[in-house]
Structure 1
Amino acid sequence: MSEIHPAQRVAVLADSQNLYHSAQSIYSRNIDYTALLDDAVDDRRLTRAIAYVIRADAEEEESFFDALVDIGFETRIKDIRTFADGSKKADWDVGISLDAVTLANHVDTIVLCTGDGDFTRLVRHLQHEGVRVEVCCFEESAADTLVEAADEFTDMSADTEQFLL
């Protein structure tokens, strides 16, 4: 895998639901997306930054979506689905994976901001294609297989003052 260098092209893909629920359950705090993006880019060339969010008609979510754009993220928004039995579902696993595979030919590194172990196979595929894959999330909620597969792992819990509001 390629080493970090200033001309390296980077894409940052943030699984906002995963990050939000981890930050809330562990620390009862919110993510500082400016710090997250700055750390993920790490003085390299940002090609794309995409935040995957869920619209659940919650108070102030539109201002959150706007704030992500102001920070430098494109937002991919999916409405939450409610089923006949009352259960709800909304995830971006397929969308994140498709975007990562599409971006693989245009970047040197993809930073996945998620702890979801479902992305382990994606990490291995991207590496096979010659892409460096970094994972940034909270170690407490990160799948071991994802952390082990990554070329580099950033534990957001190691510096909560940087990554949390």
Structure 2
Amino acid sequence: MVEIHDAQRVAVLADSQNLYHSSHSLYSQNVDYAGLLDETVRGRELVRAIAYVIRADSPEEESFFEALRDIGFETKIKDIKTFGDGSKKADWDVGISLDAVTLAEKVDAVALCTGDGDFSRLCHHLRHEGVRVEVFGFASSTADELIEAADDFTDLSERENEVLL
């Protein structure tokens, strides 16, 4: 396992939808993305920070997207899809995975901010490529298979003061 050191190049990929639902269901609070960025970078060289967000036409979302950019995140925005039966869907699983695989040759570590177990296969792939995989999520809403697939797991519930507003 590759240890953390100051010369490491890190990419931070934040699944904003997953983080939002976890922080709201557990704490009724929003994520402090500036604090999250500090927690994930840990003094290393930040190559890229990307927040994957969903546009659902709520009034405050544009200011949220702008705040993310001010903090240092690149935002990737996807519109929510509404189906004929009224159900809605939007997720970034494929986009996050493709970006992680693309960035793998440019970084030493990927900080994946999500609890979604669908990313466990991505973790295995990145580790096979020699990239350190760090998962940041709220333990009670993070899939066991994701925790097991990562080199390191940080329970954001233990860092409430740093990562919640």
2:138 alignment counterpart: 138
Measure the CA separation in 2 of the matches of 1:156 and 1:70: 22
Q: Secondary structure at the match of 2:107?
A: coil
1:82-161 alignment runs, 5 A limit:
82-161=82-161
1:52-91 alignment runs, 5 A limit:
52-91=52-91
Q: Which moved more, 1:101-110 or 1:151-160?
A: 151-160
Measure the CA separation in 2 of the matches of 1:162 and 1:42: 13
Measure the CA separation in 2 of the matches of 1:26 and 1:115: 13
Q: How many residues align?
A: 165
Question: Residue 59 of structure 1: CA displacement?
Answer: 1.6
Measure the CA separation in 2 of the matches of 1:102 and 1:157: 30
Question: Residue 144 of structure 1: CA displacement?
Answer: 0.3
Deviations 1:9-49 (A, max 9, x none): 00000000000000000100000000000110000000000
Name the aligned partner's letter for residue 19 of structure 1: L
1:5-44 alignment runs, 5 A limit:
5-44=5-44
Give me the identity figure in percent: 72
Measure the CA separation in 1 of the matches of 2:47 and 2:112: 14
Question: Residue 2 of structure 1: CA displacement?
Answer: 2.1
Measure the CA separation in 2 of the matches of 1:112 and 1:152: 10
Name the aligned partner's letter for residue 61 of structure 1: E
Name the aligned partner's letter for residue 29 of structure 1: Q
In the superposition, the TM-score normalised over structure 1's length comes to 0.99
Question: Residue 120 of structure 1: CA displacement?
Answer: 0.1
User: Structure 1 regions of 5+ residues with no counterpart?
Assistant: none
Deviations 1:61-104 (A, max 9, x none): 00000000000000000000000110000000000000000000
Measure the CA separation in 2 of the matches of 1:148 and 1:84: 38
In the superposition, the TM-score normalised over structure 2's length comes to 0.99
Structure 1 vs Structure 2 CA RMSD: 0.6
Deviations 1:106-140 (A, max 9, x none): 00000000000000000000000000000001001
Q: Secondary structure at the match of 2:106?
A: coil
